[in-house]
Amino acid sequence: NGLAFPSGKGIDFSATSDAAGKSSELLDDYEEGTYTPIIMASGSSSNITVTFSAQYGHYTKIGDVVHYCVELEWTAKSGTDSNNTAYLNVSLPFAVKDSQGIWGSSTLSYNTGLEFDNGGAYCHNNKDGAYIYFWSPLDSGRHDYYVKTSNLHSSGGIRLAGTYKT
């Protein structure tokens, strides 16, 4: 499923060295694959369960950069969030690196299953976690609106794509 190099080995691009401040010119990882993405909720008060009819996830990892796409469709949800504070997340194939605030970006390209309280539909890759979460823009009181378990329709679908560092 991927190229495996011993530590410190890989494809060396140093013959074309031209950038000051570079940290490496060694490509030591390449992988393409699939994974089974899920919708989950953060927080200990949530026991939400989603019944999926389609779960497709594909990724390409080149060095420490991951490109991914996800399609999820579901026919039912059950469970509760006892205090309606659990945020909805979608799993990623690898953890997002916390590197000087550069975590990557994701785009929600199709949505029939999430309700956004403030109109906008944005994704945020979560640093140090293998998931993204959804939010709407700030209101006049400077409050973000995070998509919570109560914002998940009982059936629907979403498509996501993104890039991030791991």
- Cα(145)–Cα(139) distance, rounded to whole angstroms? 8
The answer to whether 149 touches 41, Cβ cutoff 8 Å, is yes
Q: Please name the residue that has the structure tokens 């996830």.
A: 57
pTM of the predicted protein model: 0.80
- Tally Cβ neighbours within 10 Å of residue 126: 18
Per-residue pLDDT of the chain (166 residues; tens, 9 = 90+): 556 666 656 676 666 666 666 666 767 788 999 999 998 887 655 678 899 999 999 999 998 899 999 999 999 988 766 556 677 888 999 988 865 455 678 888 888 888 776 666 777 777 777 888 887 765 655 556 677 787 888 999 999 999 988 8
Nearest Cα to Cα of residue 123 among 111, 85, 51, 80: 111
Residue 49: both structure tokens together? 């369960």
